[in-house]
Chains A and B, each alone.
Chain A
Amino acid sequence: MSSTPADDQFYREYILDHYKNPRNFGRLENPDISHEEDNPLCGDVIGMEFRVKDGVIEDVKFHGRGCAISQAAASLLTERLKGLPLEEAKKISKDDVLGELGIQISPARIKCALLSLKVLKVGAYGLAGDDEEGE
């Protein structure tokens, strides 16, 4: 009815496509790295599992649930990660992820867009493992 073209810009076809048909969705058997994060404010959950060989991400899968932005961002990120050296993956920045999404993200939705990056970073740097050892 009264919606503006901006809506369609925000929920662009490829965002919706990644939301409805997420790439690399599922679980890996015996992953080398496995980590999950949630956003308690909205209930979004993203987990990622990696198989790493000779320092290169051989395979990656993600699982989770949440809004279109969080799920599409995770799907896009996994596409980028496959075949990437782990050291390169660690360098992926907030701006890289937002640029890949290619839409204007409002402050309220930034956490949705960056949840998968947080999973990647914490997983790749082994911070989750450190935490568990510390407990």
Chain B
Amino acid sequence: MDPFMSGGDMIKAVRIEGTTYHDLPWKFEAGTQAIAEVIGLGAAVDYLSGLGMEAVRAHEREITEYAYEALSDIEGLTLYGPPPSRRAGVISFALEGIHPHDLATIADRDQVCLRAGHHCAMPLMTRLGVAATARASFYIYTQKDEVDRLVGSIKEAQRIFK
């Protein structure tokens, strides 16, 4: 298999007649290694270990359940996917009569970032029969009042598009 990228440390010899690549894995690891990224990954692992992954999951589940319940109460809103007990910290949804990109623009004004579009899952969108959905995601730093703000943005969008 030929390497897709050339750079430092991935050859044994280069001649006019042809190149001899280095042995694996060097052949596929051209150039400077991701040194800063590896150090950063170590710091991230230390940080999360300090919090405790059980605590990370517990917070994620709590905030996701809170959001799921809040969104369930909104009329004209369709939730996609399983119940919160079988979810990671993401919720995809769609509003009747409002394109997800329009909702995302309105939420953006309230400092709420939504992902809107087909989420690199076009066959799934086809299966669901929708052009696009909006998606909110939650993590350790997400607070309940931010979920409340999202609910406010959705209601504002419904008011604008009524």
| A-to-B contact residues, CB < 8 Å | 1-4, 6-8, 10-11, 16, 41-44, 65-69, 106, 108-109, 112
Contacts and interface: CB of A to CB of B under 8 A. Distances in A.
B111 to A, nearest CB: 9
Nearest to B155: A1
Interface string B34-53: 00000000000000000000
A16 B160 contact: yes
B132 A42 contact: yes
Question: Taking chain B's interface residues, is the majority helix, strand, or loop, or is none over half, making it mixed?
Answer: helix
A2 B149 contact: yes
B153 A67 contact: no
Contacts of B161: 11, 16, 68
Contacts, number: 65
A109 B160 contact: no
A29 B118 CA distance: 33
Nearest to A45: B131
7 contacts: A3-B110, A7-B109, A67-B100, A67-B102, A68-B102, A69-B101, A106-B108
A8 B105 CA distance: 11
B10 interface: no
Contacts of A109: 101, 105
B11 interface: no
Given A3-B109, A4-B110, A44-B131, 5 more contacts: A2-B149, A3-B106, A6-B109, A106-B105, A106-B108
The 7 tightest CB contacts between A and B, nearest first, are A1-B152, A67-B99, A43-B131, A3-B156, A67-B101, A68-B102, A11-B160
B102 A43 contact: no
Contacts of B125: 43
